[in-house]
Amino acid sequence: MSETSWFQDKKQRRLLVNAGFSWMFDAMDVGMLSFIVAALGAAWSLSASQIGSISAINSIGMAVGAAAAGSLADRMGRRSVLLWTLVIFSIASGLSAWATGFVMLCVLRFIAGFGLGGELPVASTLVSESVPVKERGRIIVLLESFWALGWLVSAVISYFIIPDYGWRVAFIIGALPVFYAVYLRRSIEDSPRYKAQAGRRLTFGERISTVWAKQYRRETIVLWILWFTVVFSYYGMFLWLPSVMVIKGFSLVKSFQYVLIITLAQLPGYFTAAYLIEKLGRKFVLVLYLLLTAASALWFGNASTEGMLLTAGACLSFFNLGAWGGMYAYTPELYPTQVRATGVGFATAFGRVGGVIGPYLVGYLIDRHTAVSSVFTVFFAAIVIGALAVLFFGRETKGIDPDTIKKPGLA
């Protein structure tokens, strides 16, 4: 198979686009939430801790959804779980528009988070299993690049809709992906690898035992550390980005403008990572982009001028989202098909615990008048820990088919 043959395969190219749009809708919802909570802070007179709690509740739902959907996808198939998670988050997002208070909104955001968290690991597993091994990393990073498109859409919607029409309209727009699920039902199917395992389904207990068995324990520990530190820092920084801009003295509308500009840097971050990941390997891309993310976080937290803030924010977007692409490419490659979605789902779920702590911690620290520079120093340290875990203990997976590696404990 030639290097460009995958892109000439209409069926597989359609799979990337279809899964990518579901990924984009996820990002759009998460992105709009960061803008919505900034507006809600003023509309409902919420404290910084309450704003952080809304984001944290969303991440709790994502953690539960990732674990549940990952396990179900190994049992019921990737396709059906992908569709149901898309429907769940779309409906819950739309209903959030009618929230009458803080508690009701938190409940709906938990349900939306459940769908969001479940969809992402299942989509990446489905695509990873459906593409040639030698192009797998590049394709998964390109899938992840749809996240940047979703954030751009959310930034545009938030900039033009929320100031004039209010946050409720933004939530209603977030319900539109439910119609996309109807289309997906007819246009995608389970991966060939999953279908080939039809007669060899493991029980839930067997899958969990395998993920933590001696032959996969090191990979699992590295993944859990990586996911926790990356998700902790990402949601702590990016869900608070509009609010941090306001804290630094910009108006709400101006902060939306700046976040839109910063978000544009995500796309080249993905594309450079997609190019490098098949040239230099997963570990190289992850470690390099994570360390440069850490440096950018420190720079952004200490930025004192408008130009410095925008430049540091753009670098933060560029390197952080490139690292996300590498992480999504790397994770499914460490497990065989029989336990892949379970391994990916539980690693993602543990990462979402970091997504719970990160936004809440920012709110807690800001309520106690902690300097923004100190807050971003915490994220700097977390990201460095994740990079070092991969550097010293991670296994390179470039060009390796995990289904061909014979490890004890699997048929």
Q: For the chain, give every domain's residue range.
A: 11-183+202-404
Q: Per mean pLDDT, which range of 19-33, 43-57, 293-307, 352-366 is the poorest? A: 43-57
pLDDT grade, residue 406 (50/70/90)? Answer: low
What is the SS3 string spanning the chain? Answer: CCCCHHHHCHHHHHHHHHHHHHHHHHHHHHHHHHHHHHHHHHHCCCCHHHHHHHHHHHHHHHHHHHHHHHHHHHHHCHHHHHHHHHHHHHHHHHHHHHCCCHHHHHHHHHHHHHHHHHHHHHHHHHHHHCCCHHHHHHHHHHHHHHHHHHHHHHHHHHHHHHHHHCHHHHHHHCCCHHHHHHHHHHHCCCCHHHHHCCCCCCCHHHHHHHHCCHHHHHHHHHHHHHHHHHHHHHHHHHCCHHHHHHHCCCCHHHHHHHHHHHHHCHHHHHHHHHHHHHHHCHHHHHHHHHHHHHHHHHHHHHCCCHHHHHHHHHHHHHHHHHHHHHHHHHHHHHCCHHHHHHHHHHHHHHHHHHHHHHHHHHHHHHHCCCCHHHHHHHHHHHHHHHHHHHHHHCCCCCCCCHHHCCCCCCC
pLDDT at 386 over 70: yes
Q: Pick 1 or 294 by higher pLDDT.
A: 294
pLDDT of residue 120: 87
pLDDT of residue 16: 86
pLDDT of residue 350: 95
pLDDT at 385 over 60: yes
Asked: is 11-183+202-404 a CATH 1.20.1250.20 domain? The reply is yes
pTM of full prediction above 0.85: no
Distance separating alpha carbons of residues 362 and 394, to the nearest angstrom: 30
pLDDT grade, residue 25 (50/70/90)? Answer: confident
Q: What percent of the chain has pLDDT over 90?
A: 36
pLDDT grade, residue 342 (50/70/90)? Answer: very high
pLDDT of residue 107: 94
Q: What is the pLDDT of residues 71-88, one digit of tens each?
A: 999 988 898 998 899 899
Q: What is the pLDDT of residues 245-285, one digit of tens each?
A: 777 766 655 666 777 788 788 889 988 998 899 899 999 99
Average pLDDT over residues 369-379: 89
